[in-house]
């Protein structure tokens, strides 16, 4: 989901710690760029609020009583496909990172990040980019090398059209839908469709996985050439 000009980014907070939610809400409310449209203290309530509000960004805790963050994420994606769901957690476990990304999370942030980093991350997520805490990047690479994130076979590249190869190369460079649209002279809605097609054809569930796939298969050329 792309940020709409002159409209604040709508954010839903889902975390079982009331004090933490209050802190994030206060932080974001001080910035006119954001609007906290709702809160929830557990997964079930979070899903209901997400369905009602259709926020641009959902900050979702990983470990909550009852329904886990990953289970909540998977159900939210069914009803809110345009929401960027970012895990905000204390867990620095590589397996948690892997599971969240495979489940379709748009990002994975740690609760000890500084204010400015969080602000930038929410802004980027709203613009269709994937955000992963810097402290987790090395662990993501290690997971990939160790087979922690299943990657499609190279033969799957044959399923992509030349335009889709250009799109996946842009994803590997961390470009948002808006930037991709500008560089390829396409409508943002068209870019969104191309991204969805790339993920479907390669059996991937997030832009992070598509970006990693592109890097591993050397699809960084302007025309997606290896």
120-157 exposure pattern, b = at least 16 Cβ within 10 A, e = fewer: ebbbbbbbbbbbbbeebeebbeebbeeebbebbeeeeb
pLDDT score recorded for residue 203: 82
State the chain's mean pLDDT as an integer.
84
Q: Does the predicted TM-score (pTM) go above 0.85?
A: no
Would you say residue 158 has pLDDT above 90? no
Mean pLDDT along residues 90-108: 86
């Amino acid at each position: 989901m792309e940020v709409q000009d002159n409209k604040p980014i709508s954010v839903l907070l889902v975390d079982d710690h009331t004090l933490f939610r209050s802190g994030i809400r206060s932080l974001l409310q001080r910035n006119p760029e954001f609007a906290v449209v709702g809160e929830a203290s557990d997964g079930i309530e979070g899903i209901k609020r997400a369905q009602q509000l259709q926020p641009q960004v959902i900050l979702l805790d990983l470990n909550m009583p009852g329904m886990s963050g990953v289970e909540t994420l998977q159900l939210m994606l069914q009803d809110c496909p345009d929401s960027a769901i970012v895990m905000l957690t204390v867990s620095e476990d590589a397996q948690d990172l892997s599971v969240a990304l495979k489940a379709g999370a748009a990002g994975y942030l740690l609760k000890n990040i500084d204010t400015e980093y969080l602000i930038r991350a929410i802004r980027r997520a709203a613009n269709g980019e994937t955000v992963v805490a810097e402290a987790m990047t090395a662990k993501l690479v290690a997971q990939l090398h160790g087979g922690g994130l299943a990657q499609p076979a190279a033969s799957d590249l044959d399923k992509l059209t030349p335009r889709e190869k250009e799109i996946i190369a842009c994803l590997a460079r961390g470009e948002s839908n808006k930037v991709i649209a500008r560089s390829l002279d396409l409508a943002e809605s068209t870019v969104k469709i191309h991204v969805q097609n790339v993920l479907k054809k390669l059996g991937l569930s997030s832009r992070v996985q598509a970006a990693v796939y592109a890097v591993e298969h050397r699809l960084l050329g302007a025309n997606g050439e290896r």
